[in-house]
Structure 1
Amino acid sequence: MRATRRRTLISAFSASVLAVGGVLAAGQLEAAAAESSPVGYASLNGGTTGGSSGTVVTVTSASALKSALSSSTSQTVRVSGLIPISGMYSVASNKTVIGVGSGSGITGGGLNLSGVRNVIIRNLVFRNASDDSINVQSNTTNVWIDHNDLANGHDGLIDIKRGSDFVTVSWNRLHDHDKSMLLGHDDGNSSQDLGHLRVTYVHNWFEGTNQRHPRVRFANPVHVLNNYYSNIGSYGVASTMNAGVLVERNYFENVKSPTVTQTGDSDPGNLKVLNNYKVNSGTEQVRNGASVAAIPYSYTPEAGEKVKATVTSGAGTGKI
């Protein structure tokens, strides 16, 4: 991989990060909780830059939000206040959607990314969605979902499916919900999903949620790194339908089943665990770790026992 396109997943929380040409400087081991660009998969395939920072629109109403999100203009959409919407609002390519302050976002509906490219969603509150809070589908590529606070939706909080690819989900706080994050929507969709659905989940906080953190079909490899799981009802990470998932240096606290290799009616998947830290938590299930493909980017993970402090300090809104 060319140096100008590499990104490093980093090891500990601090106030700043020094990057040169998109590569962390030699010897740099720590980074802030607010990266200026995505790490992991969203940094590949040409990178994810979002909308133009020179064209900025601030919205305070549902109608203005819907118009700005669907516009063909490359732009940054600033969401001011908690805006009630109905249904799913479509997001066009080349958009950055960012909340103003720590309490701005949407309630009652969600965002739908379908067949688009190069979208950033940051610093938004999502509440009481009538369907998914964030739905990424239909071969959408290069998406960065970062520093959001999501709860109390009807279906998934962050669902990624139907051949979508090169996505990073980072520094989000998910709480008070059942089905958190689906990766691959159906057991019969292998023709579209195989070779795609490559996602990095890093520095997310799952708090009092029940299942799907994530629940994976077909994708290989999926990287679940340095996340904090607290008081999880059913299970943490599930790998099914021959997927390959690396669950690495996460912090599991009060989680009966940190990882499982089969759920529902799906065939089992492959799952490899590496140096996770557990407090009052059960045994991790693993299966055929050799079938989990190598992670295709450089990174330096944080030690599992440090992840709780890092994530609780940095995840959610108001931190960027």
Structure 2
Amino acid sequence: MSTRRTVLSALSAGVLAAGGLAVATQAPVWAAESSPVGFASMNGGTSGGSSSTVVTVTTASALKSALSSSTSQTVRVSGLISISGMYSVASNKTVIGVGSGSGITGGGLNLSGVRNVIIRNMVFRNASDDSINVQSSTTNVWIDHNDLASGYDGLIDIKRGSDFITVSWNRLHNHDKSMLLGHSDDNASEDTGHLRVTYVHNWFEGTGQRHPRVRFANPVHVLNNYYSNIGSYGVASTENAGVYVERNYFENVATPTVTQTGDSDSGNLKVLNNYKVNSGTEQVRNGASVAAIPYSYTPEANSSVKATVTAGAGTGKI
């Protein structure tokens, strides 16, 4: 995974080679990538909608029309717009909030069977279902620098064969079930070989569980996230998934990782160099069934993740 500007300040200060990877030796200043890192950079990349076709919306009706349009375009959301239900997002869209307080309340965004979508700098509040739902073989999605809280179900749920997705620099708070990856135990035929997601530089602040909760996907990369005051557990791997939990910062997290939850069968989970403050020991199930990460990347040093993420995650930072 190319870290682009995320670690430029650290790289200029020098890096330390460890385990064949270059690891930043001091905390970088937060920065916003101009394009996604991780899985969303694969499979042809994720560029979103046209930057030369831009529409700014301030009402629910205008937002719904712009999101569902077949035109490749950038949709600028100005103000906190109250909507009802789930609004469908078509392929080749960039949805971006204006300033730090723009977004939607009362509903959520549904990406179903589409490709090449970017959602950035958006506030999501009080969704009646999911805040962001990615499903039905949707591919190449970048969910970046959003602020999500107080929804009914999941804040960012990804399921039903969707693939090549990066979830980065988001702040999640005031919520229980944060991020589901793979919706049910009986969906192996659709999900196996898909659901490849990178979770990087997200801030899970006082949330309950599912950071993420994974079924079938292999590999899933959980890298350089900050977990603070988590209620139930951090990361869960189930249904033979393969999850790599690397160089995250866990603070006041009694159970950073689990390899079984609910009625699901166990999954595979390996950890590397997570930083823990007043936190428990990770549950692991290492093995060849946790696939190698297929892209190159430069991880941040675990001890600097808290400072980097709290400075850079959420809206108003891009």
TM bracket (short chain):
over 0.9
Q: State how 1:80-91 maps to structure 2 within 5 Å.
A: 80-91=78-89
SS of equivalent residue, structure 2 residue 105: strand
Partner of 2:219: 221
- Report the CA distance shift for 1:101/1:136 in structure 2 as closer, same or farther (over 3 A): same
Deviation for aligned residue 1:12: 6.0
Equivalent pairs, count:
306
Deviation for aligned residue 1:127: 0.1
Deviation for aligned residue 1:11: 9.6
Unaligned runs of 5+ in 1: 1-6, 19-26
Whole-Å Cα distance in 2 between the matches of residues 98 and 9 of structure 1? 21
Partner of 2:15: none
Partner of 1:307: 305
Question: Which amino acid in 2 is paired with 1:73?
Answer: T
Asked whether 1:96 is paired with 2:94, we answer yes
Partner of 2:291: 293
2:62 to 61, 64, 70: 64
Whole-Å Cα distance in 1 between the matches of residues 37 and 6 of structure 2? 14
1:9 to 3, 8, 13: 3
Asked whether the 8 Å contact 1:236–1:257 carries over to 2, the reply is yes
Asked whether the 8 Å contact 1:12–1:302 carries over to 2, the reply is no
Asked whether the 8 Å contact 2:91–2:114 carries over to 1, the reply is yes
Question: Which amino acid in 2 is paired with 1:312?
Answer: T
Whole-Å Cα distance in 2 between the matches of residues 194 and 51 of structure 1? 29
Cα deviations by residue, 1:280-320 (Å, 9 ceiling, x for unpaired) = 00010001333210000000111111100000000000000
Asked whether the 8 Å contact 1:176–1:209 carries over to 2, the reply is yes
Asked whether the 8 Å contact 1:17–1:32 carries over to 2, the reply is no
1:274 to 265, 272, 275: 272
Whole-Å Cα distance in 2 between the matches of residues 187 and 28 of structure 1? 37
Cα deviations by residue, 1:204-225 (Å, 9 ceiling, x for unpaired) = 0000100000000000000000
Asked whether the 8 Å contact 2:250–2:277 carries over to 1, the reply is yes
Asked whether the 8 Å contact 2:80–2:123 carries over to 1, the reply is yes
SS of equivalent residue, structure 1 residue 192: helix
Partner of 1:283: 281
Asked whether the 8 Å contact 2:7–2:300 carries over to 1, the reply is no
- Range with greater deviation from structure 2 (299-308 or 62-71): 299-308
Asked whether the 8 Å contact 1:10–1:300 carries over to 2, the reply is no
Structure 1-normalised TM-score? 0.93
Whole-Å Cα distance in 1 between the matches of residues 313 and 95 of structure 2? 18
Asked whether the 8 Å contact 1:11–1:300 carries over to 2, the reply is no
Asked whether 1:209 is paired with 2:207, we answer yes
1:154 to 138, 152, 173: 152
Partner of 2:139: 141
CA RMSD of aligned residues (A): 1.8
Asked whether the 8 Å contact 1:10–1:301 carries over to 2, the reply is no
Partner of 1:230: 228
Asked whether the 8 Å contact 1:253–1:278 carries over to 2, the reply is yes
1:192 to 190, 203, 211: 190
Deviation for aligned residue 1:14: 5.7
- Report the CA distance shift for 1:273/1:104 in structure 2 as closer, same or farther (over 3 A): same
Whole-Å Cα distance in 2 between the matches of residues 276 and 17 of structure 1? 21
Partner of 2:16: none
Partner of 2:17: none
SS of equivalent residue, structure 2 residue 67: helix
- Report the CA distance shift for 1:17/1:50 in structure 2 as closer, same or farther (over 3 A): farther
Cα deviations by residue, 1:243-295 (Å, 9 ceiling, x for unpaired) = 00000000000001000000000000000000000000001000133321000
- List, as ranges, runs of 4+ consecutive aligned residues in structure 1 with deviation greater than 3 Å: 9-18, 27-32
Asked whether the 8 Å contact 1:224–1:248 carries over to 2, the reply is yes
Deviation for aligned residue 1:8: 1.1
Unaligned runs of 5+ in 2: 13-21
